[in-house]
């Protein structure tokens, strides 16, 4: 073998090796996140440990590690935060006398205080006992719980829809009144508004009374449970989300439980300051923000690229602009956040408030962070990507096609609009795909232009005008940060962090996939350039 061949061969191995390493890293990331995130929803057995000093624990084995001196210790998730104050304990395995998997042990998922592990005792309604003993409680629970769910739904309807609507009307009337006052309006109109306001206030009071009685009824049943060390607790049955006997689950039930937990995670709102429940508002916020960003960035980026490539005369000015655009893509994203705050939120938002919402001042409407400003900030951040990709797409359209169009009597604009831009569409979509991937992953700049830990309402709801671009919103990226690093119980939320990260990856993947499918369809249709 000659030396030159040797160098050539080793180069092949080097490049192939680098690629293989890249692929392995990517796969490792996804596999790790998927395993940790998806494992969280699978129900493990409940173990009861009797220790030689008389303590008894019931819980799920979280992890196991070797002691500093000898033997191993296990970390047990014991829940019952309201009773014992902590979710987790360490047990030295040398101290364990008896380890059992009790058939009757139950896991209660509830809307506050985290999980409860213990044994069912009874279901009570006031002093009346509806069911007593483990088997009876389990049998009775289903029907009572179903009724509670219906009541809860009714309560939510009243809270969110009816009271929400009344609040919305009252706020609107109040602002109208204020506007009339600001304009020094006539007293007849004012009286009319005030009487309407009174009517709404009356409606509100009636709804609150109704809500109070519903709530009292909702909270009337208690589920009585006993902890492993014999302490009794009565939990409001309505607050129970799930009651499971993990140690006697059939395979089918176990899979059903797993699926229902994943479903809840994807479709429900979060509970207990994001450490439990679902991430739906964050998914919604992320997708909607990326969507608005796309609507804004595509026209702007495409028009700018068309000007640069098709109209501007090549020269120093164009070169400088092109360099500036490319460098814009390298500016740290937090800088865009600061700019967004200064320009969009304070300047534009402030002006909009002064012009269109003077009645609600000094409370800002658009003059504070919101999903619109966040989307615009991101559009600014991603517009260079779209410009560059579109320019490449335009450059790939053959000059001959343009000449052919001009020779048929088309004007320059018609040629551009009907031949060049459609042929450059795959390139434009490539730009959009890159922009969306970047936008969905940005967190830093959003923290100062409208993203929040917990938004009370989605940016879309049933109140006119249905889409509320001024509202604050939740975001998967921020959710990961918030849950992972800002919650008191870091160990308990770890799986949530992985699961949320997995969802974020899947959301980015899904949005990209849609755009890629669209691009492939266009490419097939035109069988055009490979940009």
Partner 1 sequence: MNSKLERDPQLHNHRDLETVLEKPILAAESLSLWYGASQALKEISLSIPERRITALIGPSGCGKSTLLRCFNRLNDLVDGVRIEGDIRFHGSSIFDPEVDVNGLRRQIGMVFQKSNPFPKSIFENVAYGCRIHGMNRKRELEEVVERSLVRAGLWDEVKDRLHESALGMSGGQQQRLCIARAIAVEPEVILLDEPCSALDPIATAKIEELMQELKERYTLLIVTHNMQQAARASDYTAFMYLGERVEFGETGQLFVNPSEKQTEDYISGRFG
Per CB under 8 A, residues contacting partner 1 are: 397-398, 400-401, 403-411, 414, 418-419, 422-423, 524-529
DSSP single-letter state for residue 418:
I
Cβ pair 278, 265 in contact under 8 A:
yes
Q: Which CB atom, from 271 or from 523, has the smaller least distance to partner 1?
A: 523
Q: How far is CA 157 from CA 268, 395, 473, in A?
A: 16, 56, 22
Cβ pair 103, 247 in contact under 8 A:
yes
* Shortest spacing between CB 517 and partner 1, in angstroms: 18
* Shortest spacing between CB 310 and partner 1, in angstroms: 13
> How many residues belong to the chain?
531
* Shortest spacing between CB 311 and partner 1, in angstroms: 14
* Shortest spacing between CB 407 and partner 1, in angstroms: 4
| Angstrom distance (rounded) from CA 366 to CA 349 | 5
Q: Which CB atom, from 134 or from 405, has the smaller least distance to partner 1?
A: 405
DSSP lists the bridge partners of residue 125 as 128, 221
DSSP lists the bridge partners of residue 109 as 242
CA-based end-to-end distance of the chain: 40
The CA-based diameter of the chain, rounded to the nearest angstrom, is: 103
DSSP single-letter state for residue 500:
H
* Shortest spacing between CB 402 and partner 1, in angstroms: 9
Q: Which CB atom, from 200 or from 415, has the smaller least distance to partner 1?
A: 415
Q: Which CB atom, from 401 or from 437, has the smaller least distance to partner 1?
A: 401
| Angstrom distance (rounded) from CA 382 to CA 297 | 7
* Shortest spacing between CB 423 and partner 1, in angstroms: 4
Q: Which CB atom, from 36 or from 523, has the smaller least distance to partner 1?
A: 523
* Shortest spacing between CB 411 and partner 1, in angstroms: 6
Q: Which CB atom, from 393 or from 459, has the smaller least distance to partner 1?
A: 393
Cβ pair 145, 237 in contact under 8 A:
yes
Q: Which CB atom, from 408 or from 513, has the smaller least distance to partner 1?
A: 408
Determine whether 338 is exposed, middle or buried from the number of CB atoms within 10 Å of its CB (0-12, 13-18, 19+): middle
* Shortest spacing between CB 471 and partner 1, in angstroms: 43
What tokens appear for 90 in the block? Answer: 């360490």
Q: Which CB atom, from 194 or from 314, has the smaller least distance to partner 1?
A: 314
| Angstrom distance (rounded) from CA 158 to CA 205 | 12
Q: Which CB atom, from 340 or from 426, has the smaller least distance to partner 1?
A: 426
Shortest CA distance to 453 belongs to which of 293, 263, 275?
275
* Shortest spacing between CB 431 and partner 1, in angstroms: 18
Q: Which CB atom, from 220 or from 529, has the smaller least distance to partner 1?
A: 529
| Angstrom distance (rounded) from CA 203 to CA 467 | 26
* Shortest spacing between CB 307 and partner 1, in angstroms: 19
Shortest CA distance to 398 belongs to which of 379, 374, 415, 380?
415
* Shortest spacing between CB 382 and partner 1, in angstroms: 27
| Angstrom distance (rounded) from CA 346 to CA 368 | 7
HSE-CB for 461 with a 13 A CA cutoff? 16
Shortest CA distance to 247 belongs to which of 515, 5, 45?
45
Q: Which CB atom, from 144 or from 423, has the smaller least distance to partner 1?
A: 423
Q: Angle between the 371-395 and 280-306 helix axes, to the nearest 10 degrees?
A: 40
């Amino acid at each position: 073998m000659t030396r030159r061949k040797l160098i050539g061969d080793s180069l092949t191995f080097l490049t192939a090796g680098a690629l293989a390493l890249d692929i392995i890293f990517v796969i490792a990331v996804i596999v790790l996140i998927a395993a940790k995130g998806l494992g969280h929803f699978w129900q493990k057995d409940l173990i009861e440990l009797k220790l030689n000093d008389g303590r008894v624990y019931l819980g799920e084995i979280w992890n196991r590690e070797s002691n500093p001196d000898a033997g191993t210790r296990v970390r047990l998730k014991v829940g019952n935060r309201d009773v014992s104050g902590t979710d987790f304990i360490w047990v030295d395995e040398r101290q364990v006398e008896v380890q059992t998997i009790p058939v009757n042990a139950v896991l209660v998922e509830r809307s506050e205080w985290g999980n409860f592990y213990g044994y069912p005792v009874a279901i009570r309604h006031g002093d009346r006992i509806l069911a007593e003993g483990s088997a009876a409680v389990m049998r009775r629970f289903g029907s009572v719980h179903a009724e509670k769910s219906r009541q809860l739904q009714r309560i939510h309807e009243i809270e969110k829809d009816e009271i929400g609507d009344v609040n919305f009307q009252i706020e609107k009337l109040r602002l109208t009144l204020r506007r009339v006052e600001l304009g020094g309006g006539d007293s007849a109109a004012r009286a009319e508004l005030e009487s309407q306001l009174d009517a709404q206030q009356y409606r509100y009071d009636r709804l609150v009374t109704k809500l109070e009685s519903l709530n009292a009824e909702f909270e009337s049943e208690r589920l009585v449970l006993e902890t492993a060390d014999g302490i009794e607790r009565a939990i409001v049955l309505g607050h129970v989300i799930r009651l499971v006997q993990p140690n006697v689950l059939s395979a089918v039930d176990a899979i059903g439980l797993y699926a229902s937990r994943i479903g809840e995670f994807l479709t429900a709102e979060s509970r207990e300051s994001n450490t439990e429940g679902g991430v739906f508002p964050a998914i919604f916020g992320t997708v909607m923000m990326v969507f608005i960003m796309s609507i804004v960035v595509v026209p702007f980026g495409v028009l700018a690229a068309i000007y640069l490539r098709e109209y501007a005369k090549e020269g120093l000015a164009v070169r400088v602009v092109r360099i500036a655009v490319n460098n814009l893509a390298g500016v740290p994203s937090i800088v865009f956040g600061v700019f967004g705050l200064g320009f969009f939120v304070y300047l534009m938002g402030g002006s909009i408030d002064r012009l269109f919402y003077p009645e609600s001042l000094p409370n800002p409407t658009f003059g504070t962070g919101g999903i619109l400003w966040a989307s615009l900030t991101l559009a600014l951040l991603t517009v260079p990507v779209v410009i560059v990709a579109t320019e490449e797409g335009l450059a790939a359209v053959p000059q001959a096609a343009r000449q052919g169009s001009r020779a048929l009597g088309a004007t320059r604009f018609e040629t551009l609009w009907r031949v060049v831009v459609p042929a450059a569409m795959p390139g434009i979509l490539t730009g959009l795909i890159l922009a969306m991937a970047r936008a969905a992953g940005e967190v830093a700049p959003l923290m100062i232009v409208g993203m929040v830990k917990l938004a009370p309402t989605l940016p879309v709801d049933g109140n006119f005008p249905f889409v509320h671009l001024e509202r604050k919103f939740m975001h998967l990226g921020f959710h990961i940060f918030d849950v992972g690093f800002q919650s008191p119980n870091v160990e308990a939320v770890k799986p949530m962090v992985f699961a949320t990260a997995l969802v974020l990856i899947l959301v980015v993947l899904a949005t990209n996939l849609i755009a890629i499918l669209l691009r492939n369809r266009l490419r097939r249709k035109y069988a055009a350039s490979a940009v």
